[in-house]
Amino acid sequence: MMNAFNRNLRILTTSAAVSLVMLSAPQVYAATPADTLVEGFAIDDIITLDPGEAFEVSAAEVTANTYSKLVMLDQKDTSKVIGELADSWTISDDGLTYTFKMKPGLKFASGNPITAADVAYSFERAVKLDKSPAFLLTQFGLSGDNITDKAKAVDDLTFALTVDKPYAPSFVLNVLTATVASVVDKQFVVSKAKPMTPTAEYKYDNDFGNEFLKTGYAGSGAYKIITWRANEAVVLEANPNFFGEKAKLKRVIYRHMKESSGQRLALENGDIDIARNLEPNDLAAISAKKDLAAISAPKGTLYYFSLNQKNPNLAKPEVREAFKYLVDYDAIGETLIKGIGKIHQSFLPEGQLGASSENPYKLDVAKAKELLAKAGLKDGFTVTMDVRNTQPVTGIAEAVQQTLAQAGIKLEIIPGDGKQTLTKFRARTHDIYIGQWGSDYFDPNSNAETFTSNYDNSDQGKTKTLAWRNAWDVPELTKKSQSALLEKDSAKRAAIYQGLQKEVLETSPFVVIFQQVEVAGYSAKLKDFKLGPSFDTNFVYTISK
């Protein structure tokens, strides 16, 4: 019997073939329609599609294709930010107020006009909801109490943002390219807001449309969100009101497919147009076929595992260092990530200001045993690792499990989908978590903030950086990281980040393994398919068949 999701898809599509593409059984395929792009993609990390809450890699790609922001990263020159909704902007002499003049005549997908009031409301709801990405805005001194004064519409086409310190302008503008700064349709969202009873923890009388936007849509991007079903698919449809270059295809379907081999088979059969999670062997096989092609792009996404400092064994500095000597980086580089990544051990990805390319650690079991003995754990211990059951994460976890065993550490792997493992990680109930971190915006502070800053190490802490998630309490490092934001001289700012990376390498609970090279296999019938420089710049509106 067809479930409601597939019935909905039949209504949405003009061809029964698309419905077949979406059926739950992975063996059932059908050729993709001429007006539809189907991507095989592991999207089990999506928890919500509300841009005020979404903080996952796959969700960011979806929102980037469906929402607009004041400014966006210049893909031709990632050192620059260009206007999207904003036509121009000025900065006050004291460096505190950014005034944006918006492009006139723009509309949301609903048909409502896009105004400065929509921008102000979008900032207000993100700050007051106080979900995971809110710290990207609250780091400017914005709070629920002052947001309506600090982020406001001067008139219909003028928006003013006042920050608390004279930060480097490039930093502020880059933050505004992040998903959390996406602009929502105020009129539409307000109509969908759920009444709430104020409490000590949440003092507002409505949810700012959060429940609706988890699966709903209120944007102005090239595509609009039609359907999302967890661990099955996201369906997008061209937005006829989009103010920029119109989408070439009527519909885009992200079909959840975890296995690289399944994606390869579906691509070879013509059942999907793009395969997004290919392992080295499948990538090589696809590259050799004349009717298929492969593409790659360096990404600012890092793969790492981290040690929860609530675990008394993992909190010992010698243990933190020992783990860095218990990874066979060379073997991982030559097998699991060949062609899809490069070994990289610092928290700043190559390509960003101040990034270090030094990789001082290598597999050294004797050194690790020495450190464990110094920590009083010469016989090792047992610990768990939460692992998203996709590659190359699973393979890396299994490789680390083997090398840890050589030093007497018994690692129990706890598999789960992206949502399960992320939820546990964010609740600080893990021992070890292995995952990926992509920069929220193209500025070194995006990674420095999350890897080095922890403003309140209590479980009630509001700024839930990676340092916080791992209960790594580092007040002095937090201060050093913050100092870089006020340094306008690029060379001096880069030097601060160089120092931070060295300190984190030596002392942190983070074991950074590699930097992603994003790859995809695709049908040669596609035109103008590209991968962007960041996980939220993989735009699909340019693609045609």
Give 73-142 as a 3 state SS string.
ECCCCCCCEEECCEEEEEECCCCCEEEEEECCCCECCCCCECCHHHHHHHHHHHHHHCCHHHHHHHCCCC
Q: Is the pLDDT of residue 254 over 60?
A: yes
Q: What is the pLDDT of residues 417-457, one digit of tens each?
A: 999 999 999 999 999 999 999 998 989 999 999 999 999 99
Predicted pLDDT at 5: 37
Q: Report which of 381, 389, 413, 391 is spatially closest to residue 400, judged by C-alpha positions.
A: 413
d(CA 207, CA 40): 33
Residue 426: what residue type?
R
> Which residue is listed with tokens 């960011």?
60
Q: What is the pLDDT of residues 224-248, one digit of tens each?
A: 999 999 999 999 999 999 999 999 9
Predicted pLDDT at 314: 98
Q: What is the pLDDT of residues 186-230, one digit of tens each?
A: 999 999 999 999 999 899 999 999 999 999 999 999 999 999 999
> Which residue is listed with tokens 């969100």?
225
C-beta atoms surrounding 197 within 10 Å:
7
**pLDDT confidence tier of residue 30, bands split at 50, 70 and 90:** low
Q: What is the pLDDT of residues 519-529, one digit of tens each?
A: 999 999 999 99
Q: Which domains, ranges and CATH numbers included, belong to the chain?
A: 4-66+221-291 (3.40.190.10), 71-192 (3.90.76.10), 298-517 (3.10.105.10)
* SS3 of residue 40 by DSSP: strand
b/e 155-180 (16+ beta carbons within 10 angstroms → b): eebebbbbbeebbbebbbbbbbbbbb
What percentage of the chain exceeds 90 in pLDDT? 89
pTM value surpassing 0.85? no
Q: Quick check: bond before 475 cis, omega within 30?
A: no
**pLDDT confidence tier of residue 154, bands split at 50, 70 and 90:** very high
Strand duo 510-523 + 274-275: pairing: antiparallel
Contact assessment for residue 520 and residue 278, using Cβ atoms and an 8 Å cutoff = yes
Contact assessment for residue 52 and residue 213, using Cβ atoms and an 8 Å cutoff = yes
Q: What is the pLDDT of residues 261-301, one digit of tens each?
A: 999 999 999 999 999 999 999 999 999 999 999 999 989 89
Mean pLDDT (the chain) is 93
**pLDDT confidence tier of residue 351, bands split at 50, 70 and 90:** confident
d(CA 44, CA 148): 35
Average pLDDT on 328-351 reads 95
**pLDDT confidence tier of residue 8, bands split at 50, 70 and 90:** very low
d(CA 466, CA 470): 6
Q: Is the pLDDT of residue 462 over 80?
A: yes
Average pLDDT on 466-479 reads 97
| Burial (CB count within 10 angstroms: exposed 0-12, middle 13-18, buried 19+), residue 382 | exposed
